[in-house]
Amino acid sequence: MLIYSQKYEIFGEAMNIEKLKTDILIIGGGTAGCYAALTVSENSESKVIICEKANIKRSGCLAAGVNALNAYITDGRTPQNYVDYCKKDADGIVREDLLITMSERLNAVTHRLEQLGLVILKDENGNYVARGNRNLKINGENIKPILADAVNALENVTVLNRVNITSLDVKNNRVNGAFGIGIENDTVYAIEADAVIIATGGAAGLYKPNNPGFSRHKMWYPPFNTGAGYAMGILAGAEMTTFEMRFIALRCKDTIAPTGTLAQGVGAKQINSLGEVYENRYGLTTSERVYGTVNENQEGRGPCYLRTEGITPQQDESLIKAYLNMAPSQTLKWIESGKMPSGQNVEIEGTEPYIVGGHTASGFWVDTGRATTVKGLYAAGDVSGGAPQKYVTGALAEGEIAALSAVEFIKNSKAESISEESFNAYIAETEKFLGESSSHYTAEQLEEAMQTVMDNYAGGIKTNYRFNEKQLDIADYKIRQLYRLSENLHAEDFQELMYIYELRERLTVCRTLIAHLKARHETRWHSFAENLDYPEKDDKNWFKYVNSRLENGEIKIILRDIVSGGNTYEHNN
């Protein structure tokens, strides 16, 4: 619902301000956000606005498609089996209550996705064909258009594409809505809502990427996912968890294409340049696979490969097609080189580190209803913490849970209006960036500076993901300096304004990440958090969650006890 719309002029340019009101605001129209909108529609009459900084048809992680559903409870397995797998992979630092509530919904959301039009491989009896214990084979090239079509057909849902939300309106720890900018319509928005579901994804581009030149955005995670949701939560005083469990993907070299399709699809093993299978020396968890590859290179046995030589021509053909459906650059690489995987092993490398709660456990600290510590604010998908290995179906499940909670919550709780004072302060901030500035820096320059700092001092590719406390102190100092420099940046238009906000989001995430890396005095996950001052695991003191909250501009670390199987955590504030 439109409350008001005004045109005004700043520095000779026409701009608009709009204030809108809705029942539930969903920030981010990716996998989790779209499914949350579907769930609200199926369970209530509530009005929904989705704000998406791109276009929901091809936004978020699944823009290019996805090759498999990695989280499904296959025949003979139980949701608890899935929880156990996640727990083992993260060496215990997970929220079992979150994982079980997610796992119990994985199959239902998969069936719903199939009803919406997703192609899932079935046998002659109509049963899904599993890939290993947890995965289904699909044709997921068009998974995002399928979800978008379903959402766009809903009468109670308004999708605002190219609207980038950058700030929450929180008073007395209760969210009343959010502020953002229309990248292509030069509009500053305030959107009031009784509940807000944040589904913005994780953070890429914090560290210097594998290919920092022309192909700097050829990365594993969407380069457009800047950690906006984390940053908004941090600045609003929400409690965050486990940022120190970074995610580093093991990928095909150069194209940064997935390796799971090779490892699980054709059984390709990780080998070093001597042809030795090295994966068993280091262990098979996600972080150990990366660590093993780093170590083999360091000890002079690189490069490392996935052993595909000797697979059949039919397997070659299937791989070529499978990659076109999710990472077409890898297929192009094979064709341009004139060598198919059967004739040449595929070189692998670790990516730069990301913060992504759908793979590791970083994100908002939530209860089982996916309520954050800010009243009225719910989190789903990669932005939500404690429950790793969500993948696509886990993000759908969390979107569903968060939506059901929000629908219930707004029955008894209404937000205050966003005050004109708050809105004017936000408008003034955008005007400052759009106005004249003496700064000779650009957002791009400061972004590169940030990535260099993180690469050098916070365990990037350059240091083989390792760091110590002194380095982290330097990183923290330099990131704070860059944040100060970002105050005076100048934007020529609303797209450049978005770039300034994105930079500041990343810097905010970096600060919290550095504080978390520094707080955990052990090395529980090689590569993901390899602290050279504390190279051993320490269960006695560090079998705990490292959480944090921004208080008066400083990051306060909060250690919390592990929520183990059968127990449920509830917020008590």
Partner 1 sequence: MSITIDRNRCIGCGKCHDVCPGTLIKLDTDKRAYIKYPRDCWGCTSCIKECPVYAIRFYLGADIGGMGSLVHTEKNGDILNWIIESPDGKISEIPINQKESNKY
If one asks whether residue 216 binds partner 1 (CB under 8 A), the answer comes out as yes
CA separation for the pair 266, 232 (Å, rounded): 42
One DSSP character per residue, 201-241 reads --B-SSS--SS-STTTT--SS-TT-B-HHHHHHHHTT--EE
Q: Does 51 bind partner 1 (CB under 8 A)?
A: no
Distance in Å, CB of 131 to partner 1, minimum: 7
Beta-sheet pairing, 304-306 with 346-350: antiparallel
Question: What is the smallest separation between the CB atom of 566 and partner 1, expressed in angstroms?
Answer: 37
439 binding partner 1? (CB under 8 A): no
Q: Binders of partner 1 among 299-338, rule CB under 8 A?
A: 318-322, 324-325, 328-329, 331-333, 335-337
Instruction: For partner 1, give the closer residue by CB, 205 or 386.
Output: 205
Q: Does 102 bind partner 1 (CB under 8 A)?
A: no
How far apart CA 64 and CA 44 sit, in angstroms, is 32
Q: Which bin fits 472, alpha (ψ -120 to 50), beta or left (φ > 0)? A: alpha
> How many CA within 13 A on the CB side of residue 448?
8
Size of the site for partner 1 (CB under 8 A): 59
Min dist CB 223 to partner 1, Å, is: 6
| Closer of 59 and 471 to partner 1 (Cβ) | 59
C-beta closer to partner 1: residue 59 or 272: 59
- Asked if 257 and 64 count as a contact pair (C-beta separation under 8 A), the reply is no
Stretch that binds partner 1, among 261-269, 278-286, 474-482, 507-515 (CB under 8 A): 261-269
Can you tell me which of 28, 44, 46, 60 binds partner 1, judged by CB under 8 A? 60
Strand residue runs (E) in 283-352: 304-306, 346-350
For residue 356, state whether it binds partner 1 (rule: CB under 8 A).
no
- Distance between CA 280 and CA 114 in Å, rounded? 37
- Cβ count within 10 A of residue 239: 22
Cβ-based neighbours of 320, under 8 Å, separated by 6 or more:
331, 334, 335, 340
Helix (H, G, I), strand (E, B) or coil at 554: strand
Phi first, then psi, for residue 348 (nearest 5°) are: -125, 155
Choosing from 15, 188, 219, 563, the residue that interacts with partner 1 (CB under 8 A) is 219
Q: Decide whether 87 or 251 has the Cβ nearer to partner 1.
A: 251
Q: Tell which one of 39, 44, 67, 110 touches partner 1 (CB under 8 A).
A: 67
Residue type, 370: R
Q: Among residue numbers 442 through 501, which ones bind partner 1 (CB under 8 A)?
A: 495, 498
Residue in 152, 185, 264, 273 binding partner 1, rule: CB under 8 A: 264
The answer to whether residues 23 and 36 touch, using CB atoms and an 8 Å cutoff, is no
Where does this chain touch partner 1 (CB under 8 A) — which range of 93-101, 264-272, 482-490, 506-514?
A: 264-272
The region of 217-225, 409-417, 520-528, 532-540 touching partner 1 under the rule CB under 8 A is 217-225
Query: Cis ω on the peptide bond leading into residue 303 (within 30° of 0)?
Result: yes
Report the residue count for the chain: 573
Does residue 340 interact with partner 1 by CB under 8 A? no
Tokens at 61, concatenated = 């992680």
- Smallest distance from the beta carbon of 420 to partner 1, in angstroms? 30
Q: Is 158 in the site for partner 1 (CB under 8 A)?
A: no
Token pair of 255 as six digits: 């194209």
| Chain contacts with partner 1 (rule: CB under 8 A) | 53-55, 57-60, 63-64, 67-68, 119-121, 129, 131, 137-139, 141-142, 161-162, 183-184, 211, 213-219, 222-224, 254-255, 261, 264-266, 318-322, 324-325, 328-329, 331-333, 335-337, 495, 498
